[in-house]
Structure formats: C-alpha cells, structure tokens
Amino acid sequence: MGRIEIRRNILEANETLACRNREFFKANGVLVVNVMAAPGAGKTSTILKTIEVLKDRYACAVIEGDMASRIDADVMAERGIPVEQINTGNMCHLDANMIMQASGKFTFDTPTILFIENVGNLVCPSEFSLGEDLNIVIASTTEGHDKPYKYPSIYLRADAVLINKTDLLEAMEFDRKMFCDGVAAVKPMPPMFEISCRTGTGLDGWAQWLSAECERKFAQSRGKVAGR
Amino acid sequence: MGRIEIRRNILEANETLACRNREFFKANGVLVVNVMAAPGAGKTSTILKTIEVLKDRYACAVIEGDMASRIDADVMAERGIPVEQINTGNMCHLDANMIMQASGKFTFDTPTILFIENVGNLVCPSEFSLGEDLNIVIASTTEGHDKPYKYPSIYLRADAVLINKTDLLEAMEFDRKMFCDGVAAVKPMPPMFEISCRTGTGLDGWAQWLSAECERKFAQSRGKVAGR
C-alpha cells in the first residue's frame, strides 16, 4: 500500500466520522466554528472576546486542542465557559474522532455555538474536517503579510479571515494589500475582519457577522423540525 | 498494517536517508543548522542576520522550505547567498529525501554553514531528521510565553533556543521565567539567546556560540582527514 493511498484512506475515514459529527450537531442545534491559526496568533483571546460579545444571545462552549497542557481550557473554565480539553500527544491537528469523543461530554439543551480551537498549525488542520459549519483562519500582524502565499491550503478552507493584533499593524509594517492579494489568489475573497483582542477594535463587526451565520443555521434547524 | 506501524516505517525510512545526508555533509565539510519555528517567528530574518555576522569567516548557504512560494529564496538570492527553495506542496515539514535532492545542487568547496529553514510549524518538523548537526528553535515574544508547554516535542529537539522580537518583550508582557520553566520541563536547559532581528540586539552572542560549534565540527573533520 503506497503512501498516497494510506493518506487517502486516513482522510476518507475521517470524512465519514465528520459527517456523523455534522448530523449530531445539527440534531442538537449546535453551530460549530473551527478556529485555525499559527501558534500565538490569538485563537484563545479571539474566542474569549467573541464569547464576551455573544454570551447574552447564545449559549457558548469550547473544545481546546493542544499537543499538551490544559492552559487554555483552564482560562475558559475560570470564566465559567463549558470546555473540554483535547491533548493530541504528537498529533499535529484535531480529527473528527477526537471531536466526537469530546462533544459527547457536553449537554446541548439550547442552541449553542461550539468553538473548536484547533492545534496551532497553518498546515495540517486544513486537511481534517471535524463536522464544523464554519472554518475561521486568524492571521496576526506580527507574523507578517506573506503567510497566505506560503500556507495557501489553510486559507483555501477559510469561510472568514480575521487579522488580529491590528494595534501593531503599523509598527509591524503589515502590508494589508499584499496579505489580501495573497488570500484572493487562493480563493474568492472571504469576509475579512480586522480586530485587536487587546484593544477590542473590530470585534463587534466580526461578532455581528457570526451572529448572522448563527441565525441562518438555527432558523434552518427550526424550519426542519417544524416541517417534519 | 496499522497506523502506528505505517508511521514507524515512514520515520525509519527517513532516518536511513538522514544518515546518508550526515555522511555527505561530513565528507564535504558542511555544518548543517536546522531552523524550526512557528510561522512568522523570524526564521528568515534570523538566518539573514546570522549570515551577515558570520559571512567573513565562513561560507554560508541556505535551503528554504515552504509549502508554496519562492519569497524567502528570492530574499536570500538578492543578497548573493547561495540558496535552494523546496516547495513541499501539502507536506507540513521537510524530510531527509528533500534535503538530499536540494543539497546535491550546491558546490561545497570550502567549509560551509548550511542553514535549513524548515516549514513554519511547531509540531511536525520535530519528528523528521534531515542529517543536521544542530536543531535551533526560534520563539518570538509576540507568540507568547506558553508555547513550550503546548508544543513540547519541538523544544525536546532544540540544541539552542532563540527568543526573537525582544524589542517587543515588555510590550507583549512576555514572561521570560514562565517560558524558560516550560523549556526546562522538557529537557535540560539548552543554551538560550535573546535576540531582536529588528534592532540587532543579542545577535553577536548567538553568532559567537554558533561559531564555536562550527570550529568544533570543522576541527573534527580536519582531525579525521589528518588521521587517515
């Protein structure tokens, strides 16, 4: 069995489980947001700040993915956010099976946004569906404007792109046009939001877009239930 | 054949090729420095600045690893540095076979430091030997002080750790002690250098350490040749 075939088998097996996750989430009224970014781009901060804005309207929960440690899960738990930590060991991404195990531990008794913080990695998470509704990629001004050119596959999956740490945009000489051209070279331009988790800039616009996505999903779910 | 066995086979095949690379580099008087970091931590800048300091003493060459683009190779070539670009496609790391192909394109007629800039990734590159003499991990203050806890495997391989972007250390509230404790939890503390590629701070100390490593390696090579 060749390496390419093994790879295909692994991805196909994952896809089957991702479909089951998708059905489970739909049946339970859960909108799933898969958050992908390089290490240190601000995944945890963005999820925290987004939940702060949306928590009065929606129930929120988080799955944290890291090779090791419970640092991020502890931060969420301190704020009273329902959270499950996945430690992947030497695995470089989350997969559908891990999400199936972790999501079974929550009680979803009201429409919920489930944020999945993937392992910090701009390569491998792009290949593994988790059963998510939305894939979000967070770039940060401190990592530079050339990343879409160097890591195109993660941007190819992005339903929305967030540029974080915009309070440092000028100091970092972050070239917004070069960044956007790089994303646009990969796919039709997705919605893009410039935010700063430190100052709070831009978070409302992003949360508003996410709310609209939630409304659409939850309306669909209600429609389906009503139509039965 | 199970997934673990497949994984072991891939790693063993890579190790065999890495040994061949090691022999090739030894025979040609090449010291190989494998540079690993998250996307945007400053791998290219650090390699450039290090070569600026060392170029009068040693010949230097670079292999650039990226999923896509020739951005970094073009920067090196503009400065007159011998460079080969590897585009890995959807692969998340460099492997020994890629290095074998690329290093065969250089002419090493004098003792040389070959810098390999690995794909920006704190997970996968840690598993694949390339035939290198030294593994260097670059952290940056902007990505936070918790990374050794979350990505221990890359720190386990580090022969030296560089903390880059120290001009932003205070603004980022980077906790040096927490970072160092995280590295020390993984392995006996390797040499650590605080640098800023932007201001030039700390580069001399790091280059001095690297020079000493070079002298040791090149003296060993000469000793072996003389002893034949």
- Average pLDDT taken over every residue of chain B: 94
Per-residue model confidence (pLDDT) at position A224: 62
Q: Closest partner residue to B39 among A68, A69, A147, by Cβ?
A: A147
- In eight-state DSSP terms, residue A52 is H
CB atoms within 10 A of CB B215: 14
Using the Cβ of B173 and the Cβ atoms of chain A, whether some distance falls under 8 Å is answered with no
Helix (H) or strand (E) holding B86: strand B83-87
Q: What is the pLDDT of residues A146-199, one digit of tens each?
A: 999 999 999 999 999 999 999 999 999 999 999 999 999 999 999 999 999 999
Per-residue model confidence (pLDDT) at position B228: 40
Q: What is the pLDDT of residues B142-157, one digit of tens each?
A: 999 999 999 999 999 9
DSSP alpha helix (H) spans, A28-64? 43-54
From B87's Cα to the closest Cα of chain A, the distance in A is 9
Q: Which residues contact B25 (CB under 8 A, 6 or more apart)?
A: B31, B32, B103, B114, B131, B133
CA distances from residue A149 to A36, A194, B79 in whole angstroms, order as listed: 17, 19, 21
Using the Cβ of B120 and the Cβ atoms of chain A, whether some distance falls under 8 Å is answered with yes
CA distances from residue A172 to A142, A175, B170, B196, B218 in whole angstroms, order as listed: 6, 9, 16, 13, 39
Residue found under tokens 């190819």: A156
Per-residue model confidence (pLDDT) at position A220: 81
The one-letter amino acid code at A38 reads A
From B141's Cα to the closest Cα of chain A, the distance in A is 9
The token pair that represents A21 in the structure block? 């996750």
Q: Are strands B112-117 and B59-66 parallel, antiparallel or unpaired?
A: parallel
Per-residue model confidence (pLDDT) at position B225: 52
CB contact under 8 A, A71 and B149: yes
Chain B residues near residue A142 by CB distance under 8 angstroms? 40, 140, 142-143, 165, 168
Q: Looking at chain B from residue 46 to 85, which residues have their Cβ under 8 Å from any Cβ of chain A?
A: 66-69, 71
CB atoms within 10 A of CB A14: 18
The token pair that represents A119 in the structure block? 């392992």
CB atoms within 10 A of CB A104: 9
The one-letter amino acid code at B214 reads C
Please identify every stretch of chain A with a pLDDT value under 70, giving residue numbers as ranges.
1-2, 224-228
Per-residue model confidence (pLDDT) at position A4: 75
Whole-number Å distance between alpha carbons of A63 and A13: 21
Residue B219's region, left for phi above 0, alpha for psi from -120 to 50, else beta, is alpha
Per DSSP, the three-state class of A158 is coil
Q: What is the widest separation between alpha-carbon atoms in chain A?
A: 56
Interface test with A, best of B127, B143, B196 (most A CBs within 10 A): B143
Q: Would the pTM count as exceeding 0.80?
A: yes
Chain B residues near residue A6 by CB distance under 8 angstroms? 6
Residue A15 phi/psi, 5-degree rounding, is -65, -40
Yes or no: say if B32 and B139 are a contact pair by the CB < 8 Å rule: no
What residue ranges define each of the domains in chain A, with the CATH number in brackets? 3-220 (3.40.50.300)
Whole-number Å distance between alpha carbons of A202 and A161: 13
Whole-number Å distance between alpha carbons of B48 and B41: 14
Nearest CA in chain B to A186: B68
Among A180, A122, A181, smallest CA distance to A154 is for: A122
Among B115, B100, B18, smallest CA distance to B58 is for: B115
> Looking at per-residue confidence, does B84 or B6 come out higher?
B84
Q: What is the pLDDT of residues B105-138, one digit of tens each?
A: 999 999 999 999 999 999 999 999 999 999 999 9
Question: CA angle, A117 as apex, A176 and B183 as ends, to 5°?
Answer: 90
> Looking at per-residue confidence, does B41 or A5 come out higher?
B41
Using the Cβ of B119 and the Cβ atoms of chain A, whether some distance falls under 8 Å is answered with yes
Among B115, B101, B174, smallest CA distance to B143 is for: B174
CB contact under 8 A, B151 and A39: yes
Query: Side by side, which strands form the sheet with B192-194?
Result: B83-87, B59-66, B112-117, B30-37, B134-140, B160-164, B192-194
Q: Closest partner residue to A71 among B92, B140, B150, by Cβ?
A: B150
CB contact under 8 A, B69 and A150: yes
CB atoms within 10 A of CB B112: 21
Residue found under tokens 């290095």: B99
CB contact under 8 A, B39 and A1: no
Per DSSP, the three-state class of B93 is coil
Q: What is the pLDDT of residues B189-201, one digit of tens each?
A: 999 999 999 999 9
Cross-strand bridge partners of residue B103: none
From B86's Cα to the closest Cα of chain A, the distance in A is 12
